[in-house]
Structure 1
Amino acid sequence: MNIKIKLALFSLPWLYRLNKIRKLSKKYRKGKEELTAQFRNDLILKYSSKLLKLFNVEINVIGKEKITKGGVLVVANHVSNGDSFVLFNALQASLENPKDTRRIATFLAKVELKSKKTARNILELIDTFFIDRSKIKESVKTIDDFGRFVKENKTYGIIFPEGTRTKDGEMQDFKAGAFRVAKKNYLPIVPITINNSGAIFDTSRSKKLVVDVIVHNPIKASEFSTQTNEAIASRVKQIISSKYVKGLPEKRKNKGNK
């Protein structure tokens, strides 16, 4: 079925889901204790899975046995707005039983996303840390808070060190500051390569899209604790790029959209 037709047919259920997220996000901001981290995580995970299914996306996880226990930094390349949803679901790949406790993801995202109401409601509901790259001191504090949260709560801290999606399909430089998280909090790094995600939200697409998620061997904190952030960034980029297949970047609605 054509994606545009599916979007039209399922518009009402999605309006209900988005409204539910909006209400829960508002309650959470007001400090409602009954909204546990696991409940909030599982709800967004459930909806993200449904969204990928709606867009006829299949996730092929290679090396799922390398997904370690929580309290790690997950680092991946960035092609599409759908990459976050892909990683969120890919992290669950090695769970053997559907009833197993879902893995909790914590994101570090650019503050610009807060200007989009739906994105803000979703991200705030799952304890996302927003970084304002124009304010250096504030950014450093946010990165430190993010790392501390991941370590204390044993979640999967997800970072896209390129800072924004690729515009030409080529992998961009990895920002060294992102690796301050792993070094300061002594967190293992799990490098992940995402291939073929550029067309996830392309409504003109009619065929199934298979997105490959390649999980590399985790890097123990003891292996990079004496290295500079720049050296760690270079090492991780080399690992991720070794399996990266250049593809078409995500279509932008306007030139100013990053």
Structure 2
Amino acid sequence: MDTGVTSTVKFRTVSLALALGIAVCAALSLAAQKKAAESSGPVVFAQDKGKLTIKLAGQTVGHEEFEIAPSGGGWLAKGTAEITPPEGAASKVSGSLTLQGDGAPISYDWSSQAEKTNGAHVLFANGVASITLEMQGARPFQQDLTFNSPLIAVLDNNLYHQYAVLARIYDWSKRGVQTFPVIIPQELTPGTITVQSTGSASTDGKTYEGLKVTTSDLEILLLLDASHRLMRLEVPDAKVSVIRE
């Protein structure tokens, strides 16, 4: 990663100035959200709110504020990140992910502001992600992506709080290696990740619960507190650190 601060399925080098963004389509109706939430299983989430500092090679390049809270019978994970890379234009990206209590996504909206303002709305149903993308100066684009499970991890570019959601979806009672389908909405990219507990991990004199996320060519280490809240994220190969304030 030449800029380092972008999460994709393959985590290839992608500029922080990547600007896919606003024009959010009509949100999923409240009735549909309630129906989906009522059909979910056990609740895996806990309320959380915080601010993350994003560093590249030790230099602060951005901040993200996020909140995970109950909403309309389900859960809402939302965050906004402001990125100022060493080279390239500054950008601002926001994401709002509506989830069932068991972690299955219901809908997702993202917007990004940089040189252009773009965005998209994603509706999830029966393992299918229906995407409506609106880019500044272009006609809306629609695409469906099909997955083998409704429990899809949403890990979008530069929205690191979504790894806090992933840490909740992981089945801690079973531990071991667990595989999840994943979507990177800003890139219309589907894929697969594996997640595995690594036990106790220490950094800067503090001890955490480690969770390793593996893609085809990178490993991401999540450091969690005793309640499985995301406290720190490390991508060693990309020299990226995300630290909870």
Q: TM-score, normalised by structure 2?
A: 0.28
- Relative CO higher for 1 or 2, CA cutoff 8 Å, sep ≥ 6? 1
Higher helix share: 1
Higher strand share: 2
